[in-house]
Amino acid sequence: MSLAKRLVRHPTVQGALGRIAAGYLGLVRRTNRFTVEPADADPWLDGLSPFIAGMWHGQHIMVSFAGRPKDRVATIISKNPDGNINTIALTRLGVRVIRASGARGRVVKDARAKGGAEGLRAMLRALRNGEIVAFSADVPKIARRADAGILTLARFSGRPIVPVAVVTSRHIRFGSWDRACLGLPFGRGAVVFGEAITVPRDPDPETFEALRGRVEAEMNRVHDRAYTIVGRLDRVGAGGLGRAGTARIAEPA
């Protein structure tokens, strides 16, 4: 392991970086003019709660922006040391972080599978306790392809999936596999909630695949709608990322 990586993984350094990240995200939230769609979503969301907030992995940095002040929100971050900074930042922003492996597609047939079962049980407990669970829907390392894991959580919990997108007009687009975006201050923002999707407890394979496709399509729809609200195109959808490892800054037109 390089010296730089050892330094970044030191608890003191990670604590400082987590606090800085939380402060920065708070600035982004305060200085962007956010539009929420649907505008009268509160009664509808109250009736669905606790629900599973489905997001694309690249938006996990700004997941706290979708929560209302009264919401109790939990999310899952792996136990990998690289997740410590995100954990510290999200905790300071009011999101309860579950440190465990996620419920990926391999646990669809066997909920006791090693790794995914730990995260699945933790998220089921959170939903039973009335917390909204924000969950990345991507297939690991494949952006914007819905994995079976989010449907597995919906199956076993009986709670609906509500796709959600959070975007800002000014942002940095990273060249990572998940097309991650980090909002910049002083622009326009949008939080868009999509159609609630319920998954039956024991769907046949055809029904399950149809629902997976429906979740994927609705998540893409709310993502595109959010960019429309802030007056931008999703540059990934329009022209791709470019070279891996690069970042692009989007400024208002």
Higher pLDDT, 236 or 202: 202
pLDDT per position as a tens digit, 92-146: 999 999 998 655 554 444 444 445 788 999 999 999 999 999 999 998 888 889 9
**Are the beta carbons of 223 and 194 closer than 8 angstroms?**
no
Q: Is the pLDDT of residue 41 over 80?
A: yes
pLDDT at residue number 199? 98
Mean pLDDT to the nearest integer, 229-253:
60
**Are the beta carbons of 232 and 196 closer than 8 angstroms?**
no
Percent of the chain with pLDDT over 70: 86
CB atoms within 10 A of CB 252: 13
CATH 3.30.980 fits 3-250, yes or no: no
Mean pLDDT of the chain: 88
pLDDT at residue number 3? 82
Please give the structure tokens belonging to residue 28: 């982004």
Lowest mean pLDDT among 12-16, 58-62, 150-154, 186-190: 58-62
Distance between CA 243 and CA 162 in Å, rounded? Answer: 32
Please give the structure tokens belonging to residue 155: 């199956």
Lowest mean pLDDT among 113-117, 127-131, 172-176, 209-213: 113-117
Distance between CA 153 and CA 111 in Å, rounded? Answer: 10
Half-sphere exposure of 137 (CA within 13 A, CB side): 26
Q: Where are the alpha helices (DSSP H) in 80-147?
A: 84-92, 116-128
Binning pLDDT at 50, 70 and 90, where does residue 241 land? very low
43: preceding bond cis by omega (within 30 degrees): no
